C-alpha cells in the first residue's frame, strides 16, 4: 500500500464545494472517479479541508492510499485526461503513511479578491467579488492587526459549523491594492466555517467607514458575530496554499 | 443628433468576435440590440477596431449617433441591464461629431497572457494561453526591440487581411514575468490581421531558443511570415486600451 498526495487546482463555480455529497456535483467525487479510472481500484480521498460551493482552489492538497505502483507523474498526467477542464492535478508525490492532508497541515492560506467598480466585470464575474466604491486600506490594515495571534474566533464563524473549539491562530493578514482590485491573504493554523468570508466582510465594513477598526477587537472579546460585516460571496475566495512539515518534502 | 462613445469590457469566449456577421453571435450585434432597447431607435456602432473570435477586451471603444437625450451614465446603467454577463459598458461619454472610435485613435495597446506549466490551469482556461516550458525573457526583449518603430509588418500579417499598406508604427513592447505567467503589452498606431498573435508567437519561438532574436529583424526586411513563430491562440489576447487626442476628453 502506498500513500500519494495530489496538489489540485479547481474553479469552484460549477461545483457544490469539495466534500462528497449524495446527488451533488462535488470536486471530491469527480476527482475520485478520475483517479479510480487510472489506478483501477476504489480509493478514498482526504483533503486538507473542505471548500464551499463556488469557492476556488489554486493549491488544494488531498491524499489517498493505493495498491497501484504507477509513477506519481504518470498518475498526474493520466488523471488529468479523465477530468473536466475546471479541475486539474498539478503535482503528485509519494509520501510515508504518517502524512495526512488535513492533520499534517501546519498552515493554510486563503486569498480573497474584490473588484472595485460601479459596473460589473465580464472577465472577473466568477473569480472576484465586486464592490461599487473604494475602501480605506489603512483602516482595514489596522483592523486586520487585531486578528493576528491566537483568539477565540466565535464571532467569525457561521452557524452550522461543527467544531470543539473556536480557538484558532491567525499568522498573517496581507491586504494589497492592485489597480482596481483589493486582495486579502489570510494565513492561519485552521479556519472555522465561513471564517475567511466573514473576516473579509468585516474588514470591508471597516474600509467603508461603517465601523471603526477597534470593533474587530470587541468582536473577538464579546464573541458577537452581529458586530461584524456580511459574509462575502464565494466567487472571490481561493484556497491559495497549504504548508506541511519539511520532512514530507511536499512543496 | 448626438454622438456617444462607450468603453466596453467583454469576455470573448462565447462570441464570433466583435464584427457583425449574419447568423453569428457577435459582440457588436448583442451590444447594438441592447442599446436600441434603451434609446428606442435603430443605431449603428463603430468600434476602434475588430477583435477576433475568442479575443477579450478590457477597454474597447465604440461610438454611435442617436436622437435620444438620455444622460450618458443612465445609458451605461440601462444598457448593462439588457446585456448578458460577458459584455459590460464600463463608461459612456458624449463627444462632438468629429470623434470617430477608429479614425481618431492615436494608439492601441494589446495585452497577451501566457501561463507556463506542464499542466493546464482550470482558473485560466479561457483567459490565458498555455506553454509547457519557461521562456528566455532577455532574448524575447532583444527580439522585441527590433519591432519598435515604423516598419512594413507584412511578415506579421495573416493571409485574409485587407489593407492598403502593411506599414505600421509600434511604440512599445513590454514583456513581464509575473509568477508563473508572462505578459506581453504591445502598443502601436494600428495593427494588421492577427498581428499581435503573430508577434507573440514569434517572440515565444525566440524565448524557446528556436530562432535567434536577430531573426525578427530579418523577418521585417525580407517580409517573410515563414521565418516567424506560430499564430498564438485567441484566449490569451485582450484589447487593453485605446488612446485618443486629449481634446475629446475620452479617458
Least CB–CB distance from B10: residue in A58, A80, A122: A122
The tens digit of pLDDT for each residue in A127-136 reads: 999 999 999 9
* Domain-embedded: residue A135: yes
Q: Which of B104, B127, B150 is the last residue of a domain?
A: B104
Residues B95, B121, single domain; the answer is no
Q: Which of A119, A122, A130 to mutate to test the interface with B (most CBs of B within 10 A)?
A: A122
The DSSP secondary-structure symbol of A190 reads -
pLDDT by residue (tens digit) across A156-165?
A: 999 876 778 9
Angstrom distance (rounded) from CA A46 to CA A120? 37
For residue B96, indicate whether it is catalytic.
no
Instruction: Dump the DSSP string for B21-45.
Output: -TTS--HHHHHHHHHHHHHSS----
How many CB atoms are located within 10 Å of the residue B238 CB?
Answer: 27
Whichever domain contains A27, its CATH number is 3.30.70.580
Give the integer Cα–Cα distance in Å for B55 and B233: 9
pLDDT at A159: 83
Do residue B80 and residue A127 have CB atoms under 8 angstroms apart?
no
Residue among B86, B91, B122 minimizing CB distance to A86: B122
Distance from B118 to chain A by nearest Cα, in Å?
8
Provide the shortest C-alpha distance from residue B140 to chain A (in Å): 26
Check A88 against B11: CB less than 8 A apart: no
Q: Please say which residue of B80, B104, B128 terminates a domain.
A: B104
Q: What is the CB neighbour count within 10 angstroms for residue B170?
A: 23
What's the distance, CA A5 to chain centroid?
17
Average pLDDT of the residues of chain B: 96
A77 band by pLDDT with thresholds 50, 70 and 90: very high
> CB-based contacts of B249: which residues, under 8 Å, 6+ apart?
B93, B95
Q: What pLDDT was estimated at residue A113? A: 98
Residue A133: the pLDDT is 97
Q: Which of A78, A104, A130 is the last residue of a domain?
A: A104
For B65-86, the pLDDT digits (tens) are 999 999 999 999 999 999 999 9
For the residues B114-128, what does the mean pLDDT come to?
A: 97
Nearest-CA distance B112 → chain A (Å)? 14
Residue B101: what pLDDT? 97
Q: What is the DSSP string of A114-164?
A: EEE-SS--GGGTTT-EEESS---HHHHHHHHHTTSEEEE-GGG--TT---S
Asked if the Cβ–Cβ distance from B122 to A80 is below 8 Å, we say no
Of A87, A89, A123, which has the smallest distance from its Cβ to B9's Cβ?
Answer: A123
Q: Count structural domains, chain A.
A: 2
Beta bridge partners of B168: B151
Q: What domain range includes position A9?
A: 2-104
Same domain, B70 and B150: no
Query: Are residues B35 and B79 part of one domain?
Result: yes
Strands (E), B117-236: 129-131, 149-152, 167-178, 181-188
**A177 and A223 assigned to the same domain:** yes
Taking alpha carbons only, the member of A92, A55, A49, A51 closest to residue A70 is A92
Cβ contact, residue pair B76, A117, below 8 Å: no
Size (chain A), residues = 251
Closest listed residue to residue B55, CA positions, set B110, B14, B12: B12
Model confidence, pTM:
0.94
Residue at grid coordinates 482526504: A46
Q: Mutate which of A123, A127, A179 to test chain B, going by most B C-beta atoms within 10 A?
A: A123
Residues B94 and B118 in one domain: no
* Nearest Cα residue to B35 out of B93, B77, B98: B77
Do both B21 and B118 map to the same domain? no
The proportion of chain A whose per-residue pLDDT surpasses 70, expressed as a percent, equals 100
Interface of B with A (CB under 8 A): 9-11, 56, 58, 76-77, 80, 85-91, 117, 119-123, 125, 127
3-state secondary structure of B52: coil
- Residue A231, min C-alpha distance to chain B (Å): 23
pLDDT score at B161 = 67
> How far apart, in whole angstroms, are the C-alpha atoms of residue A145 and residue A154?
17
Residue B251 within any structural domain of the chain: no
Task: Find the CATH number of the domain harbouring A132.
Answer: 3.30.70.660
Q: Are residues B82 and B195 located together in one domain of the fold?
A: no
Do the domain assignments include residue A249? no
List the single residue in A with minimal CA-CA distance to B7.
A119
Of A198, A196, A153, the residue nearest A173 (C-alpha): A196
pLDDT digits (tens, 9 = 90+) for A97-115: 999 999 999 999 999 999 9
Based on the fold, state whether residues A24 and A97 are members of the same structural domain: yes
B47 and B124 housed in the same domain: no
| CB atoms inside a 10 Å sphere around CB B35 | 25
Q: Which residues contact A98 (CB under 8 A, 6 or more apart)?
A: A104
Chain A nearest CA to B233, separation (Å): 17
Report the pLDDT averaged over residues A120-146: 98
8 Å CB contact of B119 and A88: yes
- Residue pair B84/B25 in contact by the 8 Å Cβ criterion: no
Same-domain check for residues B89 and B45: yes
Report chain A residues whose CB lies below 8 A from the CB of B56: 123
- Locate A136 and state its grid cell: 480605506
CA A207 vs. chain centroid, Å, equals 23
Residue B173 has pLDDT above 70, yes or no: yes
Whether the CB-CB separation of B185 and B168 falls below 8 Å is answered with no
In a domain, residue B131? The reply is yes
B111/B91 same-domain check: no
Of the candidates B87, B91, B123, which has its C-beta nearest A122's C-beta? B87
Give the span between the Cα atoms of A145 and A217, in whole angstroms. Answer: 9
- Asked if residue A218 and residue A141 are part of one domain, the reply reads yes
* Calpha distance A28→A47 (Å, rounded): 8
Report whether A65 contacts A100 (CB < 8 A): no
Amino acid at each position: 500500500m502506498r500513500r500519494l498526495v495530489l496538489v489540485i487546482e479547481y474553479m469552484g463555480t460549477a461545483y457544490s464545494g469539495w466534500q462528497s455529497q449524495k446527488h451533488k456535483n462535488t470536486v471530491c467525487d469527480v476527482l475520485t472517479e478520475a483517479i479510480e479510472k487510472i489506478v483501477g481500484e476504489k480509493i478514498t480521498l482526504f483533503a486538507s479541508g473542505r471548500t464551499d460551493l463556488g469557492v476556488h482552489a489554486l493549491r488544494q492538497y488531498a491524499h489517498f492510499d493505493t495498491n497501484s505502483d504507477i509513477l506519481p507523474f504518470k498518475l498526474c498526467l493520466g488523471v488529468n485526461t479523465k477530468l473536466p477542464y475546471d479541475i486539474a492535478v498539478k503535482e503528485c508525490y509519494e509520501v510515508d503513511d504518517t502524512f495526512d492532508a488535513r492533520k499534517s497541515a501546519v498552515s493554510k492560506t486563503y486569498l480573497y479578491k474584490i473588484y472595485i467598480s460601479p459596473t460589473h466585470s465580464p472577465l472577473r464575474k466568477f473569480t472576484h467579488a465586486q464592490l461599487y466604491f473604494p475602501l480605506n486600506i489603512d483602516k482595514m490594515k489596522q483592523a486586520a492587526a487585531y486578528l493576528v495571534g491566537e483568539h477565540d474566533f466565535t464571532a467569525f464563524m457561521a452557524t452550522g459549523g461543527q467544531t470543539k473549539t473556536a480557538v484558532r491562530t491567525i499568522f498573517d493578514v496581507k491586504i494589497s491594492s492592485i489597480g482596481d482590485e483589493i486582495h486579502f491573504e489570510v494565513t492561519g493554523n485552521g479556519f472555522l466555517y465561513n471564517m475567511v468570508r466573514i473576516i473579509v466582510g468585516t474588514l470591508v465594513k471597516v474600509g467603508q467607514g461603517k465601523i471603526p477598526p477597534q470593533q474587530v477587537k470587541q468582536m473577538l472579546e464579546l464573541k458577537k458575530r452581529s458586530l461584524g460585516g456580511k459574509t462575502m460571496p464565494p466567487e472571490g475566495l481561493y484556497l491559495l496554499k497549504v504548508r506541511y512539515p519539511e520532512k514530507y518534502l511536499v512543496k
